[in-house]
Amino acid sequence: MNWWQKISGLIMVLSLWLGAIAPALAANVKSTENTSVHLYSDGKNELIAAAHIKDGWHIYWRNAGEIGKPTVISASDGDVQVINQSTPKVQQVYEILNEYLYTEIAYFDIYVPQLKGGRLTFSFTECNDICKPEQLTFNLSELMPSSPEEWQTVKAAAEATFPQKIKLTSPLDVNRVRFELPDKEIVQFIPAQKDVLDADSLQIRHKRQKFDIEWQTLDAQKLSQALLITPERAYFADIVYTDMPQNVLWYILLLAFLGGVILNAMPCVFPILSLKIFALLKSARRRGRWQRAGAYVLGVWCSFILLTLLLVYFKKQGEAIGWGFQLQSPWFVGIMALMFLLLFFFMAEWLRFPNFAAQYIHKAAKTNAFATGFFAVLIASPCTGPFMGAAVGYAFMQSNAQIFAVFTALALGYALPYALIELYPQTLRKIMPRPGRWMQKLKYALSVPILLTSLWLFWVFGAQIHAGFRQNDANTSASPWRAYDAAQIQQLAQNGENIFIDFTADWCLTCQFNEKFLLKTDKFEHWAQQNNVHLFKADMTEDNDVYDAALAAYGRDGIPVYVYHHAGAYQILPIFFNIDNLNVTAPAQSE
């Protein structure tokens, strides 16, 4: 074979290879004359869109400003959410008109529930001296998934341009937010909605790192989101309106304290509380009870503060996570499940410690009240009891100092019942029979909830490892429940429909308790059917940025959370609510 035949063969192979991959590459890239959009896929539910814009041209942000048209991303089935997008440039035209735009490159982080079908459309306006409306449509079923290296590179480049997400709270009667930021100055406060903010009314005051922003809106509208741009970075704020006054820290601390006390009675904490009460009944110790009670309280406080530090850190990195986030990790769930299973074996006396180990553990149990309090919090953190949800949600809209104050109150409330029993055990013994064989039977009885907790954690572990392991009610055609869909919920709410949203997870035992004894009852199903209530479920068993962001928009960080939309407004229901107390108006049925 001569050199010409070798070259011809190589050219033919390259031609065939290019001919095979060209259609696939074209599916990920669409272009107009001046803008090219490249879609990168993680192969699951997340897309990164990189819009490359020709020199001298620009496209617009979600709020274009006083001129221009916004960039809109839509799906053929209406089910798409833009999680984040690049911070725009602020440009003044004739020194009187503001426009918020992108030049050179812009990134969009997009969540699509299904990448197997449907179309994704980018609608935008290209402007230079002239403006041209354009559309680019992608067939999602033809997208090529990005390699892990390419995905990580693009995602890192995109995140470097994204604003950091925060939450701010405003009173219902006054449009005002007060907060702290590490930056010393706010240069721009940009509404995410067009024609809502009265620009002349905007007042920004700051002293050191404390900010006070007040504004008026047009036509009695409410500003739900805004962009804050500082010299150092940009922040994208969800604004939550509350009927509580701004200066209610003492009220929130009381709610947190009461929430901590009630947390001891929640289903997921019961096994831990049972063990602690059993140990106190068996023990006749009097000396050192103040030290043990203090050590237990300190252990609880340190555990709460450690989890709070992690939450604050991750939120500063732009992560949308909430209270109980550690149970979204299969590793953590698996380890906890094994620990509870071993504990059950020892309580049921199916396993025994060697003599030397038993003596060491018995000795350590007398002095290690700190460790008891510290680890008691880990399994309790996925629960959100009455009062606690509002306190935690409010805390994460405030400064770091207020966050730690709220969680300190929560820790003290959680530690109080056991500390009181430790300090005054005679009160407990007065209502209990004298020590005897019944204590052995009590230990066996208390081992049952330990076993049930272990089985529950193993079930959660299996559901996290194998997505199809559990039967998801929201995905079955026979179920009235639908998976959470922000666009659909917004449309239904605008039409005045009745909507019920359940924020739940397999690892939240309170959620599972309510589902069995409230949400899956004939009474609830009859109520929903009779009043034409649309049922949506946000399953947070696995980490999901969209559901986390939706939960944060309602001012909550822990679950369960139940939201009821009625007559164009919504309310967050108590954890244990009464269906009979819900006002409903059934929309007229179409014939």
Residue 371: Cβ-neighbour burial (10 angstroms; 0-12, 13-18, 19+):
middle
Per-residue model confidence (pLDDT) at position 174: 78
The closest alpha carbon to 258, from 373, 416, 420, 402, belongs to 416
- Cα separations in angstroms, 8 against 11, 21, 228, 568: 5, 20, 60, 70
Provide mean pLDDT across the span 159-176: 83
Question: Which two three-digit tokens encode residue 369?
Answer: 């009240």
pLDDT confidence bin for 535, thresholds 50/70/90: very high
Contact 260, 416 (CB under 8 A): yes
Is 537 a residue whose pLDDT tops 80?
yes
Cα(323)–Cα(537) distance, rounded to whole angstroms? 19
Is 300 a residue whose pLDDT tops 60?
yes
Provide mean pLDDT across the span 549-569: 79
For the chain, what percent of residues have pLDDT higher than 90? Answer: 15
Per-residue model confidence (pLDDT) at position 286: 61
CA atoms within 13 A on the CB side of 401: 7
Is 2 a residue whose pLDDT tops 90?
no
Is 368 a residue whose pLDDT tops 80?
no
Is 19 a residue whose pLDDT tops 70?
no
Per-residue model confidence (pLDDT) at position 66: 83
pLDDT confidence bin for 6, thresholds 50/70/90: low
Residues 6+ apart with CB under 8 A from 424: none
Per-residue model confidence (pLDDT) at position 216: 86
Provide mean pLDDT across the span 531-544: 85
pLDDT confidence bin for 23, thresholds 50/70/90: very low
The tens digit of pLDDT for each residue in 503-529 reads 988 777 677 778 877 888 888 888 888
Lowest mean pLDDT among 52-66, 145-159, 340-354, 526-540: 340-354
Per-residue model confidence (pLDDT) at position 489: 87
Q: Which residue has the tokens 């942000």?
A: 61
Q: What are phi and psi of 271, to 5 degrees?
A: -60, -40
Per-residue model confidence (pLDDT) at position 35: 94
Per-residue model confidence (pLDDT) at position 22: 42
CB 278: neighbour CB atoms within 10 A?
17
The tens digit of pLDDT for each residue in 377-389 reads 766 655 555 666 6
Helices (H), 71-208: 148-159
Q: Where are the beta strands (DSSP E) in 42-118?
A: 46-53, 59-65, 72-75, 81-85, 89-93, 97-102, 105-111
The tens digit of pLDDT for each residue in 69-123 reads 899 998 877 678 888 999 999 888 777 788 899 999 999 999 887 766 788 899 9
For the chain, what percent of residues have pLDDT higher than 70? Answer: 72
Is 53 a residue whose pLDDT tops 90?
yes
Provide mean pLDDT across the span 282-307: 78
Residues 6+ apart with CB under 8 A from 428: 277, 280, 281, 421
Is 189 a residue whose pLDDT tops 80?
yes
Region for residue 534 given its phi and psi (left: phi exceeds 0; alpha: psi -120 to 50; beta: otherwise) = beta
Cα(315)–Cα(583) distance, rounded to whole angstroms? 36
Provide mean pLDDT across the span 440-449: 71
Per-residue model confidence (pLDDT) at position 206: 79
Per-residue model confidence (pLDDT) at position 105: 94
The tens digit of pLDDT for each residue in 232-291 reads 889 898 887 776 555 567 777 888 888 888 877 765 566 556 656 666 665 655 667 788
The closest alpha carbon to 531, from 489, 483, 569, 565, belongs to 565
Per-residue model confidence (pLDDT) at position 589: 34
Per-residue model confidence (pLDDT) at position 266: 66
The tens digit of pLDDT for each residue in 144-155 reads 888 889 999 999
Is 15 a residue whose pLDDT tops 90?
no
User: What is the reported pTM?
Assistant: 0.53
Per-residue model confidence (pLDDT) at position 321: 56
Residues 6+ apart with CB under 8 A from 196: 217, 218, 221, 222, 223
Strand pairing category for 561-566 and 569-573: antiparallel
Q: Mind listing the domains of the chain with CATH numbers? A: 32-159 (2.60.40.1250), 169-242 (2.60.40), 249-465 (no CATH), 473-581 (3.40.30.10)
Provide mean pLDDT across the span 557-574: 81
Per-residue model confidence (pLDDT) at position 131: 87
Provide mean pLDDT across the span 478-504: 84
Per-residue model confidence (pLDDT) at position 429: 66
The tens digit of pLDDT for each residue in 27-50 reads 689 999 999 999 998 887 889 999
Per-residue model confidence (pLDDT) at position 356: 45
Q: What is the mean pLDDT of the chain?
A: 76
Between 578 and 158, the higher pLDDT residue:
158
Contact 383, 324 (CB under 8 A): yes
Per-residue model confidence (pLDDT) at position 587: 39
Most confident of 239-248, 323-332, 339-348, 460-469: 339-348
CA triplet 136, 141, 145: central angle to 5 degrees?
A: 90
